[in-house]
Amino acid sequence: MSDKPGNSIPVCDAADPFPRAPGFEVPAGACDTHAHVFGPAGVYPYSPNRSYTPPDAPVGAYLHLHQRLGIERGVLVQPSVYGTDNRLQLDALAYLRGLGKNYKGVAVVDADIAEAELDLLQAGGHCGVRMNLLFKGGIAWGDVEALAERLARRRWHLQFLIDVSTFDDLESRIRALPVPVVIDHMGHMACDQGLDHPGFQALLRLLQDGQAWVKLSGAYRLSAQEYPPYSDVVPFARALIEANVERCVWGSDWPHPHFSRPMPNDGDLLDLLADWAPDAAVRQKILVDNPARLYGF
């Protein structure tokens, strides 16, 4: 990730344009539950308050990625650079669904969004809302609770970008919500904090009790290592799977925005799952069965 001269907003590196096929047999109906599309900025302008500027990552490149990986289903997640402007995601989903593809979306919305807008998002393939709780002071928890009540009536879920090592009362707050809760990127906690960190242990308990789902994604964001296979992440991924394999899903996090270290190849990232879950039956649950239940495929 680099800065353009005179611009304080960092510009992201592009994803590897040549994803390789994974080294294991990906089961039919496999789902990538976490990816984004970007651009062109002239049509879909970025928020002026964004923390990064991504390169274009069009829906065609997204489809190429999935064809190379053997992925048949996907979930697009609204990225922070668009704020609550979900137009690109709606257009991308309309295109994908028009091709007969099985894709869903997770939107970003204001806490007081009108029901008519939620209707439009739902008709366009959305089934959840993402909230960025990684940075303190961004969203009041009362807003989360109020929106959760409304989403429960639609049978939607809430997805949280959160660092489980820094968020106070994580366990009790999530247990009190009336909707399914999905935690991004294995809790987004740096591996050097250790498996015994109270925040990670709270996440394991939520999984064990069926109170949360977790995305086995973003290993490169948690690792202290610059290149795959990010071996320091292995104990964390395996602990999450062991806690409750029925609540684990996989995501590529393509095109890996806001990341400043060497860009991984997406085939390498999918191959990590074979190490975390050596049993093909377990991978079937993570890649196919679990996302089918969570997203309604």
The answer, as to whether pTM is greater than 0.85, is yes
Q: What pLDDT digit, counting tens, does each position of 14-69 carry?
A: 999 999 999 999 999 999 999 999 999 999 999 998 989 999 999 999 999 999 99
- Short-list 185, 117, 183, CA closest to 151: 117
DSSP for 250-295? E---BT--S--SPPPPHHHHHHHHHHH--SHHHHHIIIIIHHHHHH
Locate the domains of the chain by residue range. 29-295
Name the residues annotated as catalytic: 253
Measure the CA–CA gap between 32 and 195, rounded to whole angstroms. 26
- Region 95-108: what's the mean pLDDT? 97
Q: What pLDDT digit, counting tens, does each position of 189-245 carry?
A: 999 999 999 999 999 999 999 999 999 999 999 999 999 999 999 999 999 999 999
Fold of 29-295: TIM Barrel (3.20.20)
To the nearest 10 degrees (0 to 180), the angle between helices 115-123 and 141-154 is 60
